[in-house]
Amino acid sequence: MKLNLLPARTGILWVKLGIRTFFRQPLALAGLFFMFMAVMTIASQVPLIGFALAMTLLPAATLGLMVATRQACEGRFPMPLVMLAGFRAGRQQARAMIVLGGLYAMGFLASVALSYLVDGGDFARVYLGGTTPTREMMLEPSFQGAMWVFVGLHLPLSLMFWHAPALVHWHGFSPLKGLFFSLLACLRNFWAFAVFALMWLAVLIAVVAGVTTLGALLGNPALAGDLLFPALLLLASMFFTSLYFSFRDTFEASDDVSPPAVK
């Protein structure tokens, strides 16, 4: 396996490929993303362990969307079972995927817990959807401090898990090795990933502005609210589609290594 060093403009290409590939199979990829969201929502409702369970499933679910994107690139129609790809490539890789999920859940919950210590849990309750934030709450220094603590801890966690599920699945890495090389790859290609993030931010702003403008032109501001949520869901689906290309271009398989069959 070879780690490629990519120019910053590659981040723009990943966004374009994600959007283009989504529109090659919009029904399949949007449907799989909605299934992903539904499963995460249902898992989070399990008493006591719901949120931890949802976070444990996240790496495998993200991998499923990447496998679906690969199938769409090959001209195939991704089926729902593709979301279980991480558990269908062999017992060893299934165990590794479960370990990855457990590590992600622990890291995420630790980030939330440490933010809790800063402001007594106000930010954590808002972030986890248990409380509606007020302007006064968001201006509190303790709330802002908790937010930055969470961001500062969650960012490296996200980079560690950016490529790790795919490295485990397609390259047979152990969970810890996958986490190390994922973080290394993101840092070595910092500018490509920075441009990737900025491009998606620009697309998000353009979509929100476009929907808001449409509602204003039609004299129906409520229409903008009705259209914005589904538009953002479709945009999120395109974002997850683009993740596969960031992995594909960052790592190059050795000639003597064959990836597991994509089912």
- pLDDT tens by residue, 207-257: 999 998 988 888 877 777 788 889 999 999 999 999 999 999 999 765 434
DSSP track, 3-51: EPP--TTHHHHHHHHHHHHHHHSHHHHHHHHHHHHHHHHHHHTSTTTHH
Report yes or no on 257 lying in a domain: no
- Looking at the structure of the chain, the number of domains it has is 1
Report yes or no on 226 lying in a domain: yes
pLDDT > 90 fraction of the chain, expressed in percent and rounded: 74
Report yes or no on 38 lying in a domain: yes
Report yes or no on 261 lying in a domain: no
Report yes or no on 113 lying in a domain: yes
Q: Tell me the mean pLDDT in the region 146-163.
A: 95
Report yes or no on 73 lying in a domain: yes
Report yes or no on 196 lying in a domain: yes
Can you tell me which residue has the tokens 């898992």? 43
Q: Tokens in use for 63?
A: 């991998």
Structural domain span for residue 134: 2-252
pTM: 0.90
Report yes or no on 21 lying in a domain: yes
Can you tell me which residue has the tokens 């690969």? 70
